[in-house]
Amino acid sequence: MADMDTAPSRPDPSPYDAVLLVSFGGPEAPEHVVPFLENVTRGRGIPRERLEQVGEHYFRFGGRSPINDQNRAFLTAIREDFAGAGLDLPVYWGNRNWDPYLSDAMGQMRDDGVTRAACFLTSAYSSYSGCRQYRENLAEASADVEGAPRLDRLRHYFNHPGFVESYVDATLAALADLPEHARDGANLVFVTHSVPDSMNDRSGPHGSAYVGQHRSVVAEITDRVRQETGRRHPQQLVYCSRSGSPESAWLEPDVNDHLESLAKSGVPGVVVVPVGFVSDHMEVLWDLDTEALGTADRLGLPAARAATPGIDPRFVAVVRELLLERAAAERGEQPDRRTVGSLNATADRCPRGCCVNPRGPVPAVGGAE
């Protein structure tokens, strides 16, 4: 029998008694597509005919987004990781825009006796749409459910080793998939979701955090790839999924325009790295695998796409590590906050004025408001 004094201690998640996986959501049948898009664009006055046009991307994949299945797999992986680490804590799941909705998750947690939950967002970076809007939706869902548990948002994880290292290996694997003649001189094309310039300007407590965080991650991955291959591949951060009016300024260049430029300059090949996304949801399947790789094929430009983290065990473990880190901080301890790259760990609670809502103040959880 093991000596009681030398037996490993069980991880302590207190004061938390649950984790909530918070995601965007997506349609799971053709008849869900337009209602889902109506949820996403509520309050913007977009005509139904326009939503049907946008929904064509989903209809080409049978009217079903892959995101909910990916979240189910991620949820299972988190629970298995917790169990393997001796962490006995329930994990719930709620979406902003489709079933299971956040309000449903709130009601279930309340009925199960949960009093305080840590929230893991499937969005790694600072911005209004990637953080503040989630916090607003959580506040709204909590207000709709009497007796809902207290919610804390876990910190951003764009620079957590478990997120970055999965991308390093995925980039190396994609380089290996290129034809040999295209490999050594290949460019790394890092892609994330475009947002309005004004949203980036207001991201983070001091502005421009969205782009700054991405650039830090891009530099770290590029350097790690150099350490493994002995070559420093040229890299660029580019954008996809622009959805605003032509008159408004959004982050550029678009990935397809960038591929055109690379082909004209004689680049032998490219690796497309979807560094802004945690799984292969619709932006990856349509904007990158369909449109961007289609552009590369038309140009005769050899291209390979790096995998997203998905259920890579290192990424799955990020949830547990951030939970235990935050729990220790809430107990008054000084936890080790693991990061890589040029930026420090972001704050547990979003500072006042961080990623402000352009339409005015709205209640949000997990901040200093």
pLDDT digits (tens, 9 = 90+) for 8-33: 688 999 999 999 999 999 999 999 99
Q: Which residues partner with 70 through β-bridges?
A: none
Residue 5 is predicted with a pLDDT of 53
Mean pLDDT rounded to a whole number for the chain: 95
Residue 118 is predicted with a pLDDT of 98
Query: What confidence category does residue 245 fall into, taking pLDDT thresholds of 50, 70 and 90?
Result: confident
For 205-218, the pLDDT digits (tens) are 999 999 999 999 99
Query: What confidence category does residue 368 fall into, taking pLDDT thresholds of 50, 70 and 90?
Result: confident
Residue 268 is predicted with a pLDDT of 98
Q: Which residues contact 90 (CB under 8 A, 6 or more apart)?
A: 17, 18, 19, 112, 114
Residue 193, pLDDT > 50, answer yes
Query: What confidence category does residue 186 fall into, taking pLDDT thresholds of 50, 70 and 90?
Result: very high
Residue 2 is predicted with a pLDDT of 47
CA distances from 311 to 11, 71, 162, 241 (A): 22, 9, 11, 24
Residue 7 is predicted with a pLDDT of 54
What's this model's pTM, rounded to 2 decimal places? 0.95
For 317-355, the pLDDT digits (tens) are 999 999 999 999 999 999 999 999 999 999 999 999 899
Residue 244, pLDDT > 80, answer no
In the structure encoding, which two tokens stand for residue 113, read together? 């006796």
Residue 316 is predicted with a pLDDT of 98
Residue 320 is predicted with a pLDDT of 98
Write down all domains in the chain, each with its CATH number in brackets.
18-157+311-330 (3.40.50.1400), 161-305 (3.40.50.1400)
Query: What confidence category does residue 6 fall into, taking pLDDT thresholds of 50, 70 and 90?
Result: low
- Comparing C-alpha atoms, which of 6, 331, 53, 315 is closest to residue 169? 315
Cβ burial 62-99 (10 Å sphere, 16+ → b, else e): ebbbbbbebbeebbebbbebbeeeebebbbbbbbbbbe
Q: Which amino acid type is present at position 95?
A: N
Task: Identify the burial level of 304 via C-beta atoms within 10 angstroms of its C-beta, where 0-12 means exposed, 13-18 middle and 19 or more buried.
Answer: buried
Residue 47 is predicted with a pLDDT of 78
Give the residue with greater pLDDT, 43 vs 320.
Answer: 320
Strand bridging mode 91-95 / 150-153? unpaired
Q: Which amino acid type is present at position 359?
A: R
Q: Which residues partner with 23 through β-bridges?
A: 95
Residue 36 is predicted with a pLDDT of 92
Query: What confidence category does residue 1 fall into, taking pLDDT thresholds of 50, 70 and 90?
Result: very low
For 48-72, the pLDDT digits (tens) are 887 888 788 899 999 999 999 999 9
Query: What confidence category does residue 3 fall into, taking pLDDT thresholds of 50, 70 and 90?
Result: low
Strand bridging mode 235-240 / 270-273? unpaired
DSSP class of 30: G
Residue 240, pLDDT > 70, answer yes
Cβ contact 108:32 at 8 Å: no
